[in-house]
Amino acid sequence: MKQYIKSGARILYNYSMTLIFFVMFMYPFMSVTGDKFNAWLPAYCLIGFAFVAFLTYTDMKELAVKEKKPQYELDPRPWKGLVIGLLGFIPVALVVSVLSLLRFETEFAERLKHLAINGILGPVYFVVRLFNESIIGYIAAILLIPAVAAIGYLMGFYGIDIMKKIRKKKPIQEKAFTKSPWNPSVNESKPKKKKKKKTTGGQ
């Protein structure tokens, strides 16, 4: 259980660091996009998600590869990545749940609560927008990082390397070298044809 908590804490750390940078660069992003900020927000969230997803996927894959080695005697399971992902994201889910249950008297306070929830889910907020900020959208967003952790662990567990398969190309067949007709060596290599002697009718 200690290993689960330690790995889950790593996922939470990666997400927290990504979220800090996400918030830090939000103001410059707002300045650049201006009136189109709302339209470009999902793309900005996708960039943050790509970063945290890469970190999560890499960590989980490396963990599975390590645990598969016999000398560690850890007896890994294929579903371990999902459990670690859920453990790592529980604090985020708890904060979002508590904020959602709070009720304020003023509209301004409710608006701040709404912004706080969406801000905490910043890197996965594009999923919330995809479902028009419904409950399903928030649940799907919360489960997204655990899903990435599960995929990463499975890839390492079964020894699947997606990037190698993408980079793998068919060997290029070398074309036979043909000499230019203007190359003097072409004529030299060809056997000379013997000219036939012309015969006259009287001979």
Residue 123, CA atoms < 13 Å, CB-side half-sphere:
25
The set of residues, in sequence order, having a beta carbon less than 8 Å from that of 97 and lying 6+ positions away, is none
Residue 22 to residues 11, 117, 157, 179: CA-CA distances in angstroms?
16, 14, 31, 60
Instruction: Classify residue 94: in a domain, yes or no.
Output: yes
Instruction: Classify residue 73: in a domain, yes or no.
Output: yes
Residue 185 to residues 162, 178, 189: CA-CA distances in angstroms?
50, 12, 6
Instruction: Classify residue 198: in a domain, yes or no.
Output: no
Residue 56, CA atoms < 13 Å, CB-side half-sphere:
31
Q: Tens place of pLDDT for every residue, the chain, 203 residues?
A: 888 999 999 999 999 999 999 999 999 999 999 999 999 999 999 999 999 999 999 999 999 999 888 877 677 899 999 999 999 999 999 999 999 999 999 999 999 999 999 999 999 999 999 999 999 999 999 999 999 999 999 999 998 887 676 666 555 555 555 655 665 665 555 555 555 555 555 54
pTM here is: 0.78
Instruction: Classify residue 186: in a domain, yes or no.
Output: no
Instruction: Classify residue 63: in a domain, yes or no.
Output: yes
Instruction: Classify residue 119: in a domain, yes or no.
Output: yes
Please give the Cα distance from 164 to 46 (Å, whole number). Answer: 24
Read off the tokens for 141: 């967003």
| Domain that includes residue 105, residue range | 2-161
Residue 188 to residues 95, 174, 191, 194: CA-CA distances in angstroms?
86, 26, 8, 15
Q: Count other Cβ atoms within 10 Å, centred on residue 163.
A: 7
Instruction: Classify residue 180: in a domain, yes or no.
Output: no
The set of residues, in sequence order, having a beta carbon less than 8 Å from that of 56 and lying 6+ positions away, is 11, 14, 15, 85, 145, 148, 149, 152
Instruction: Classify residue 74: in a domain, yes or no.
Output: yes
Domain count, the chain: 1
